[in-house]
Structure 1
């Protein structure tokens, strides 16, 4: 039996450009090949072959197909002859015919006949007096005659046996198997669709395989608003996208595919001129449907309603997509204004408003971040840690190691910026030609209005100093040497105050020095030393930075060189906590997951730490002989 899976494997083993290139002269065009179309006469190339997606397409005459279709349409071969030739070339054995499969195929053909007959009857019923209520509803939606005809709208009359009577030439069992009738124990079967506006659901070849029906009578409060066919031998709702057979050619022209929540949204979008639109059928987007979308475009756009249900639908789609992500293949998300669906938006603001939204979709990671960030209040450290855990759980679902690594880094960067915000800092012009640094300030009317910091000798300042010291402020040799250098060269403090203010876990004495930059008085070494002592802190002594022989701590005969070396030392000081934090996190992650990826990340950061230590040793000892 030639299963869809076997045929897909056959197509994947055939290089389509090589196959077509045997009889058509192809030219490389980016990731595709192009040529003058072999199916019609033309002077400029409009025929393209895409090996990645496995199809050819002519934008002039519309010729489209895969390797098998090329053999049948261009080479004139019968289907099975084409399959056998391609299988021999690909080194595959053609499965032996299965009598049961042949019988199932014959049954599918019969069910197609049933569905085609049902569609014709529904269309006829819409044009009858019984269909007036359905026509009035279509008119309220703004669907013109062309749209009604194009999408095949119909009407299922009231009556439990109406369809059975209309399709009496087919056995009852076939009507039940096609999903048109419902069989129940100890009762007569009855029509599934009654008193509903009907819309055919078609396969990739445009054949009717199922139906969707919208209720019209408001009195039926217990009936579902929309009712779809059940799964049948023809219809698998998890593997079907409504309108794909129309949207696929349009997507090849526009380069995009839009996914909306329901088939009535698809019709509304098409009526507004957006033809490359599909919808799942009563379920969340499945893995199979995502793969189907990727066969046509690499970045399909999911367009969800702006209510909570739409948000949940977006998250379900993202969760399904994460394990499937691969290079250049992802999803983009558009959220409509709250309370609006595509039809509402188009009616209220026109097709241009919808196009404007579709032109600025958000990335998958952006939506994932926003959804988890806004899911619950984040008032405590535990709440924020929960946010990180939820985000990392999503990242862990990604199977592609490169994409997972990039997502993990992106999530960590976003989380760090959110959980550990940088302290606000603004520069304020000072008097007498001096520049000042004031933290916690804002600009109004062109002037900086500062929130004064506590005086260095106040109880609040001393308490804050002691508290930060208890919480892990470091007083190692590098910190002590830089503090001593800043006291010796106060002008350097002014240049780097903002960067130091943003650096976590520094020696608390840095904060006292930075506070001094906000005043109008000139910074002098003696004043800085006095401020440290008033706050209960002592200036560093040579014993505190024993072994660090920085040039900026020497006699100061070369101010420019001293300033350069002190700047280098400050940069090392700022870089160190970031590097150590990243290494600590990578080590913990490797101990928890123990994968090749986590080991490689840990080793990379260890190498960076060794390089950092080497730079520090070289800088600190190069003046040892001076």
Structure 2
């Protein structure tokens, strides 16, 4: 079927947008427009406007914008063609003619939809009849109220091989088999697929029954039985309760993913209408795409047992290649042995809401899982861990997100496996033969040199430990911009004490202020420092001609600034130890040259240069960003 622009324009013109939106959103007249609190995000003051003359809606709070078709696809979650069909039917317009094969498929699908709808109604009738007493008792035992059962269309399939077949005989056995309602066995008459089960209809995004899930009443296997795949039902593309959850999720600004039907139903009854569930399989790529159409960061609330956590990490791995800027997953870890249904029944909605406020980002879940997967006691095991993280990051198709994951994993790895500083005592004898503070030579015709002179053990100023004043100033400026970070690094900041008296005094002052006031922010810190006579020293740190990093910039992204500050401090703390070890190795090599001593010395030279390169890259990345911003303006 081909829809021309003229047809779509006519469809929009025949649709009164305020009437369409007013079915589910309370609108108030505001001059020539209508307004309301936005249905796409939570707000108390109306910023959502509907303009019938222009045929569009717009929210000045969250920038939601669109026409009648967009309203049905975004707010109701309908596919584009379903939205067009619904609007065309309401407007009395006929869709352009389909080709013969498409028309034949549409007619067959119509019959299957009707069969599934009648089956759902028949199952509901059985639940409320005499035969459904045991099923009603199961619902009561699980705390499912009658109104909740009606809202989800719950029903009951009697333990019979032919009652549904008889009730729907007008459709004929072939159609009922194709709809998944009967089982066909060669040489025998078809018989009812669902017998002796609590019936849960599975609906499409338009709310039409397309399949069923059946829970056994009493003992028996399988505990849950789903419809087979049919022309209407593709379990890898369908999410249970998506028709109800999509509008609820847009209002709640989140979508929850749980493992099963009863979790969804129990959460909805407890006030969490934004929950969906896959249908007996791991989350698939099409299901993830559907979730991301509703929320940028779906929250996975899988069971707290081993199987639930394995399902969560499988979903994490499947999502990785599909990540884009801003699009990810988050995780909630439920108490061991509990699912959402258990939790809300035992402790109420507040307990579940508290868990939702403590979601774990995707990167944290991946880090924790890989770290717990294997030991990391030996160099080989550490290398294996690093290789697994690199492989995970490289599976991400989006280059920007991939590089951020690589940087994040590298930072975490470096912080976890950084050598212990307390075990090292700097020692740097002068090289024999008057080698002096520097040190140079040749190996295979290639020059090599030390990046810094020998370290004096008795010197405690950071400058003498290989940290120059430029880097010290960067750290001081960063701590002034982000005083909350001082407490996180308090155990190592003493190793970075400046040698210059003015900077040393400033260093002491900001440490004291931050320790005494944990709520200190940058603006208040700058005010206090200026009143204490440090305004000139602070001004020098932020001069335009001074090197800057993301964490010294006033308007930098907070997450990136924090990560870059963490990395810079880690490098500057590690660097003196590496330099001291390098001086010791060089002196030993000059005293007694061996291939082993040379390899050790060369390895430390490379390590020093790598640290220098990482520092330079942090500054250069910020300079590049400034230059790009300047060109753009």
Normalised by the shorter chain, which TM-score bucket?
A: 0.5 to 0.7
Residue in structure 2 matching 1:35, options 42, 49, 60: 49
Offset, 1:25: 6.8
The residue aligned with 1:300 is 298
8 Å CA contact 1:35, 1:47 repeated in 2: no
The residue aligned with 1:161 is 162
Residue in structure 2 matching 1:481, options 430, 438, 453: 453
Question: For 1:169, what is the secondary structure of its paired residue?
Answer: helix
Structure 1's 580 and 48: CA in aligned 2 closer, same or farther, altered over 3 A?
closer
Correspondence list, 1:448-527, <5 A: 478=450, 481-483=453-455, 498=495, 502-503=574-575, 505-508=578-581
Offset, 1:38: 4.2
Would you say 1:329 and 2:327 are equivalent positions?
yes
Would you say 1:132 and 2:133 are equivalent positions?
yes
Q: Deviations over 1:238-272 (max 9, x none)?
A: 11111111111111211111111111110011111
Question: For 1:197, what is the secondary structure of its paired residue?
Answer: strand
Correspondence list, 1:231-250, <5 A: 231-250=229-248
The residue aligned with 2:385 is 387
Residue in structure 2 matching 1:374, options 361, 366, 372: 372
Compute the TM-score of the two structures, normalised by the length of structure 1. 0.63
Mapped to 1, the partners of 2:578 and 2:60 lie a distance apart of 64
8 Å CA contact 2:12, 2:68 repeated in 1: no
Offset, 1:337: 1.3
Correspondence list, 1:45-84, <5 A: 49-50=64-65, 55-56=70-71, 69=83, 73=87, 77-78=91-92, 80=94
Correspondence list, 1:469-618, <5 A: 478=450, 481-483=453-455, 498=495, 502-503=574-575, 505-508=578-581, 576-579=609-612
Mapped to 2, the partners of 1:46 and 1:575 lie a distance apart of 50
Mapped to 2, the partners of 1:574 and 1:285 lie a distance apart of 43
Residue in structure 2 matching 1:226, options 220, 224, 227: 224
Structure 1's 166 and 511: CA in aligned 2 closer, same or farther, altered over 3 A?
farther
The residue aligned with 1:423 is 420
Correspondence list, 1:299-318, <5 A: 299-318=297-316
Q: Deviations over 1:343-364 (max 9, x none)?
A: 1111222111110111221111
Structure 1's 605 and 143: CA in aligned 2 closer, same or farther, altered over 3 A?
closer
8 Å CA contact 1:37, 1:58 repeated in 2: no
Mapped to 1, the partners of 2:73 and 2:359 lie a distance apart of 29
8 Å CA contact 2:454, 2:580 repeated in 1: no
Offset, 1:330: 1.3
Task: For structure 1, list consecutive stretches of 5 or more residues without a partner in the other structure.
Answer: 85-95, 425-438, 441-452, 458-474, 513-531, 539-571, 584-603, 612-626
Structure 1's 129 and 363: CA in aligned 2 closer, same or farther, altered over 3 A?
same
Question: For 1:146, what is the secondary structure of its paired residue?
Answer: helix
8 Å CA contact 2:17, 2:68 repeated in 1: no
8 Å CA contact 1:47, 1:56 repeated in 2: no
Offset, 1:77: 4.5
Q: Deviations over 1:573-608 (max 9, x none)?
A: 99744245899xxxxxxxxxxxxxxxxxxxx79989
Structure 1's 388 and 339: CA in aligned 2 closer, same or farther, altered over 3 A?
same
Mapped to 1, the partners of 2:202 and 2:406 lie a distance apart of 40
8 Å CA contact 2:200, 2:214 repeated in 1: yes
Structure 1's 340 and 574: CA in aligned 2 closer, same or farther, altered over 3 A?
same
Question: For 1:213, what is the secondary structure of its paired residue?
Answer: strand
8 Å CA contact 1:35, 1:48 repeated in 2: no
8 Å CA contact 1:155, 1:196 repeated in 2: yes
The residue aligned with 1:290 is 288
Mapped to 2, the partners of 1:97 and 1:189 lie a distance apart of 34
Mapped to 2, the partners of 1:48 and 1:149 lie a distance apart of 36
The residue aligned with 1:119 is 120
Offset, 1:217: 2.5
Structure 1's 417 and 253: CA in aligned 2 closer, same or farther, altered over 3 A?
same
Structure 1's 247 and 401: CA in aligned 2 closer, same or farther, altered over 3 A?
same
Question: For 2:188, what is the secondary structure of its paired residue?
Answer: coil
8 Å CA contact 2:453, 2:583 repeated in 1: no
Q: Deviations over 1:503-536 (max 9, x none)?
A: 3533438789xxxxxxxxxxxxxxxxxxx99x99
Mapped to 1, the partners of 2:12 and 2:381 lie a distance apart of 52
Moved more, 344-353 or 66-75: 66-75
Question: For 1:214, what is the secondary structure of its paired residue?
Answer: strand
For the aligned residues, what is the CA RMSD?
Answer: 4.8
Structure 1's 492 and 180: CA in aligned 2 closer, same or farther, altered over 3 A?
closer
Mapped to 1, the partners of 2:249 and 2:323 lie a distance apart of 21
Offset, 1:199: 0.6
Offset, 1:152: 0.9
8 Å CA contact 2:455, 2:464 repeated in 1: no
Offset, 1:422: 4.4
Moved more, 371-380 or 98-107: 371-380
Which protein has the larger Cα radius of gyration, Structure 1 or Structure 2? Answer: 1
8 Å CA contact 1:55, 1:64 repeated in 2: no
Compute the TM-score of the two structures, normalised by the length of structure 2. 0.63
Question: For 2:229, what is the secondary structure of its paired residue?
Answer: coil
Structure 1's 327 and 153: CA in aligned 2 closer, same or farther, altered over 3 A?
same
